[in-house]
Amino acid sequence: MVRLLRHDLHTLTGVYALDALDTQAERDRFERHLNRCQSCASEVRGLRETATRLAMAAARTPPPGLRHAVMAAVTRTRQLPAIAHHARPEPRLGWVPRLAGAVAAVATAVAVALGVVLAGTQHQLDRSRAQNQAIAAVLAAPDAHVLTSKTSKGGSASVVVSAAERKMVVTTAGLPPLPSSKVYELWLIGAHKNIRPAGLLPLPVNGHTSPLLASGLLHGDTFGVTVEPAGGSPQPTTRPFVLIPLTG
């Protein structure tokens, strides 16, 4: 009887992952079971990630007023602290240096994920690990902050800047796709027309480009993106369609 009951609970993983249990009492009961049943918890994680794909497929452009309303509310809304006595599993790989606080755990997760995505030959793996560590270091820098701007072509660019590290990490969302003869090139634009190339954007996955690291930031630099012929240009040949001053 007990075994039957357990089995009964286990098969609720799908229903629970879709938030389709009927009552709070049912949810509480199943969550107690999850705490004891590791394989159930693992299955729920996978099924929840699956549900997220269903959510992504339902994406719709939100009403134009939403962004302003949310950002205005954010500036006057106080944040909650992390829950105390929070047991966090150790990072799965040993090569990422231990970093402080919540950032470290997340940085590790990103590095692991990027490692998986970029993994190829051992040589590539070593290179991508070095790159991921560098990205994690920028994101975990105490002075790291994010600057986001819409572009005149649509979509947006985000730059995580650490002035102390003199580095930045660039991602984009929703830039218009380019023909294969063109690329998006990144630039650091300093005083006196001191314009330095800062890399080429990788091809987007689902409209997003994976984090790209650029180093050698100088005080007063502005970040810009242009469209260039495939392979990139030593100096921009078109006007930047997004400019983000990286003050500090």
Q: Please list every residue from 172 through 211 that binds other proteins, using CB under 8 A.
A: 173-174, 176-180, 203, 205-211
Using rule CB under 8 A, residue 125 touches other proteins:
no
CB of 172 to other proteins, least distance (A): 8
- Stretch of 151-159, 188-196, 215-223, 228-236 lying at the interface with other proteins (CB under 8 A): 151-159
Out of 2, 39, 65, 98, which residue is the one contacting other proteins (CB under 8 A)? 65
Q: How far is the CB of 95 from other proteins (least distance, A)?
A: 17
Strands across the sheet with 156-162, in order?
Answer: 145-150, 156-162, 167-173, 208-215
| Contact call for residue 82 and other proteins (CB under 8 A) | yes
Q: Which two tokens stand for residue 4?
A: 């039957």
Nearest distance in Å: CB 218, other proteins: 21
Taking CB under 8 A as the rule, does residue 239 contact other proteins?
A: no
To which H or E segment does residue 223 belong? strand 222-229
The number of beta carbons lying within 10 Å of the beta carbon of residue 192 is 5
Q: Which is nearer to other proteins, 188 or 244 (CB)?
A: 244
Residue 2 or residue 4: which is nearer to other proteins going by CB?
Answer: 4
CA atoms within 13 Å, Cβ hemisphere of 111: 29
Q: Tokens 């009951």 correspond to what residue?
A: 5
Using CB under 8 A as the binding rule, whether residue 67 contacts other proteins is answered as yes
Distance CA 119, CA 114 (A): 8
22 belongs to the binding site for other proteins (CB under 8 A): yes
Contact 207, 158 (CB under 8 A): no
Rounded CA separation 189/69 (Å): 33
